[in-house]
A and B are shown apart, each in its own frame.
Chain A
Amino acid sequence: MALDLYAEEIISNYEHPHNKGKIDKPSAEMHEHNPVCGDDITIYVKVSKGKVEDIKFDGSGCSISIASASMLTDYAKGKSLEELEKLGVKDIINLIGVDPGPARLHCATISLKALKEALFLYNHKKPDVETKRL
């Protein structure tokens, strides 16, 4: 694994994350924690007419987890729920622009996991047991 992992965009999103904070009365929120790293991310979404009207995240973690949460929340704004539900690991790697390798992949995907679970909760009014297990 080379250090392109610490590309300028990752570092700048880590140092100055976008969309950091909470949303009052969100349509759904979901917390994800990674006990291995101690990465801790909560995603808040406000949904309007099938689209993400606003999205924020809060928490702490390594550069990859914070930067990917920052970039994912940027990306998700204004997108339809259907579009976001289709997002997978590959999309996150494309989004952040580097493949973090197997040891750090969970850092890159923690916010995606939280987002998908939040949307599931919004759609089904019950927790997404399957994604939680991943």
Chain B
Amino acid sequence: MMDVKSIRKDFPILSTKMNGKPLVYLDNAATSQKPASVIERISEYYRTYNANIHRGIYKIAEEATEEYIKSKNNVAKFINAAGMEEIIYTKNTTESINLVALSWGSANIKKGDHILITEMEHHSNLVPWQLLAKRNGAILDYVKLDKSRNHLDIGSLEEQLEKDPKIVAVTQVSNVLGTINDVKSISKKAHKHGAKVLVDGAQSAPHMPIDVKSIDCDFFAFSSHKMLGPTGIGVLYAKREILEGMSPIIGGGDMISTVDYYSCTWNELPWKFEAGTSNIADAIGFGAAIDYLNKIGMENIHSYEQGITKYALQELSNIKNVKIFGPSYDEIKRRSGVISFGIGNVHAHDIAQVFDSEGIAIRAGHHCAMPLVTNELGQSAVARMSFYIYNTKSEFETVLNAIRKVKKIFMVD
């Protein structure tokens, strides 16, 4: 069991106010809050051993290098990668996916090849593939949503796989619908057709145990800032043999082994992909975030969030004129704590504004998934609340109040 009361005490921001009301932070799918241990670990680096990593022949440079590598080892273990050689630090999930599209994609996608993604993707797992397809003359295909508009249509997946795409890129959890996709089974099917598989883990890694070996994906991308860590650090995991065959996209210091005036050889993994001075402080902070998550346990986090999400979905489904997008509470096992919703015909931005006045942070818009929101859900914008380990049922009571307030102002029955 999780002790949410004591968890909340670890997050300084949760005792602050917004618009004079206690902050109810329900925008975790956008970015999570940070525990004091993460903030302190970053500050400790700057205060006591700030130095550049690699090759520093003095104590604090060694310390910084050690902590940076410790963070990578932490991440490797967290997702069950073979080792830190398979962990590339980037800026965020978006950069991780772009790295794959630019390096692996440019070398392996030829004219007329198929790239398969889904109608559920965030722009970060859509635009890089659009760009690659345009650059290399490839064809971008989509796995459709099923009739419920909540899940991927497996028939459509199988149909598209018949075209033998070179890569299948899919999100593990939809940032709009909250749907959890069975990426293990998708990966298995895709591999039968010889495709590489990239999983966008931005919305899954913060909330459930991840095992890249069990999923058997070739690439897995996620961000520190959505899982209690700082902004500015993202991860690209890839199988070692694939990384070995890939060329770097950014050249400079640290990523080379030897350089002469007209040629150079690449450094070993993972440094080959990390040119220039890294985001050392935030990498160390990310390590602290993973320590924190491990202490609570990802299984515990997942089951706690399932509990509060199911409760919220049940409560919301009882309210007249509240529309919920994504799987309902009786499918809770296939759903994460992201709840997109609408109230009557009230615009999502008006909903968010009223929530703001009650101290509640939610997001409104197309959530960087324009094709999904506009074409599939038929909305110009939706409101979205998203839970994390520090959210409570009593916080959700304030949501119910805010919904009543929206209804009153906009005269919704």
Q: Which stretch of B47-55, B238-246, B345-353 is in the interface?
A: B345-353
- Chain B residues lying within 8 Å of A129, measured Cβ to Cβ, are none
Q: Which stretch of A19-27, A32-40, A85-93 is in the interface?
A: A32-40
| Contact present for A6 and B349 (CB under 8 Å) | no
| Contact present for A104 and B365 (CB under 8 Å) | no
Contacts A5-B353, A61-B347, A63-B347 given; does A40 touch B409 at CB 8 Å: no
| Contact present for A38 and B366 (CB under 8 Å) | yes
Does B354 interact with chain A (Cβ within 8 Å)? yes
- What 0/1 readout, one digit per residue, does chain B (340-373) give for beta carbons within 8 Å of chain A? 0000001111100110110000001110001000
Partner of B353, one of A15, A38, A40, A104: A104
- Chain A residues lying within 8 Å of B356, measured Cβ to Cβ, are 1
| Contact present for A37 and B353 (CB under 8 Å) | no
Does A30 interact with chain B (Cβ within 8 Å)? no
Does B381 interact with chain A (Cβ within 8 Å)? yes
Does A62 interact with chain B (Cβ within 8 Å)? yes
Does A114 interact with chain B (Cβ within 8 Å)? no
- Chain B residues lying within 8 Å of A41, measured Cβ to Cβ, are none
Partner of B365, one of A38, A40, A64, A107: A38
Does B410 interact with chain A (Cβ within 8 Å)? yes
- What 0/1 readout, one digit per residue, does chain A (1-23) give for beta carbons within 8 Å of chain B? 11101100001000100000000
- Chain B residues lying within 8 Å of A5, measured Cβ to Cβ, are 353
Instruction: Please give me the residue from chain B that is nearest to A66 by CB atom.
Output: B347
Contacts A3-B409, A37-B365 given; does A60 touch B380 at CB 8 Å: yes
| Contact present for A63 and B410 (CB under 8 Å) | yes
Question: Number of contacting residues on A, CB 8 A?
Answer: 20
Question: Number of contacting residues on B, CB 8 A?
Answer: 21
Partner of A11, one of B348, B379, B410: B410
| Contact present for A62 and B349 (CB under 8 Å) | yes
- Chain B residues lying within 8 Å of A36, measured Cβ to Cβ, are 365
- What 0/1 readout, one digit per residue, does chain B (390-411) give for beta carbons within 8 Å of chain A? 0000000000000000000111
Does B19 interact with chain A (Cβ within 8 Å)? yes
| Contact present for A1 and B410 (CB under 8 Å) | no
| Contact present for A38 and B357 (CB under 8 Å) | no
Which among A37, A60, A61, A64 has the greatest number of chain B C-beta atoms within 10 A? A37
List residues of A (93-112) whose CB comes within 8 Å of B's CBs: 104, 107
- Nearest chain B CB to A114's CB is how many angstroms away? 17
| Contact present for B411 and A6 (CB under 8 Å) | no
| Contact present for B354 and A3 (CB under 8 Å) | yes
Partner of A37, one of B19, B346, B381: B381
Contacts A11-B409, A38-B365 given; does A1 touch B19 at CB 8 Å: yes
Instruction: Please give me the residue from chain B that is nearest to A33 by CB atom.
Output: B380
- Chain B residues lying within 8 Å of A62, measured Cβ to Cβ, are 347-350
Q: How far is the CA of A107 from the CA of B365 in the complex (A)?
A: 13
| Contact present for B349 and A1 (CB under 8 Å) | no
Instruction: Please give me the residue from chain B that is nearest to A60 by CB atom.
Output: B380
Instruction: Please give me the residue from chain B that is nearest to A62 by CB atom.
Output: B347
Q: How far is the CA of A38 from the CA of B357 in the complex (A)?
A: 22
Instruction: Please give me the residue from chain A that is nearest to B346 by CB atom.
Output: A63
- Nearest chain A CB to B366's CB is how many angstroms away? 7
| Contact present for A2 and B357 (CB under 8 Å) | yes
- Chain B residues lying within 8 Å of A39, measured Cβ to Cβ, are 380
- Chain A residues lying within 8 Å of B348, measured Cβ to Cβ, are 62
- Nearest chain A CB to B345's CB is how many angstroms away? 10
- What 0/1 readout, one digit per residue, does chain A (45-75) give for beta carbons within 8 Å of chain B? 0000000000000001111100000000000
Q: How far is the CA of A59 from the CA of B38 in the complex (A)?
A: 46
Instruction: Please give me the residue from chain A that is nearest to B406 by CB atom.
Output: A6
- Chain A residues lying within 8 Å of B379, measured Cβ to Cβ, are 38
Q: How far is the CA of A60 from the CA of B364 in the complex (A)?
A: 16
- Chain B residues lying within 8 Å of A38, measured Cβ to Cβ, are 365-366, 374, 379-381
- Chain B residues lying within 8 Å of A6, measured Cβ to Cβ, are 350, 353-354, 409
Contacts A11-B410, A37-B365 given; does A63 touch B350 at CB 8 Å: yes
Q: How far is the CA of A60 from the CA of B380 in the complex (A)?
A: 9
| Contact present for B380 and A3 (CB under 8 Å) | no
Q: How far is the CA of A63 from the CA of B350 in the complex (A)?
A: 7
Q: How far is the CA of A64 from the CA of B348 in the complex (A)?
A: 12
Given A6-B353, A64-B349: 9 more A-B contacts, CB < 8 Å: A1-B356, A2-B19, A6-B409, A11-B410, A37-B364, A60-B380, A61-B380, A62-B348, A64-B350
What are 12 inter-chain pairs, A to B, with CB distance below 8 A?
Answer: A5-B353, A6-B354, A11-B409, A15-B411, A35-B366, A36-B365, A37-B380, A37-B381, A38-B380, A39-B380, A61-B380, A62-B347
B→A interface (CB under 8 Å): 19, 346-350, 353-354, 356-357, 364-366, 370, 374, 379-381, 409-411
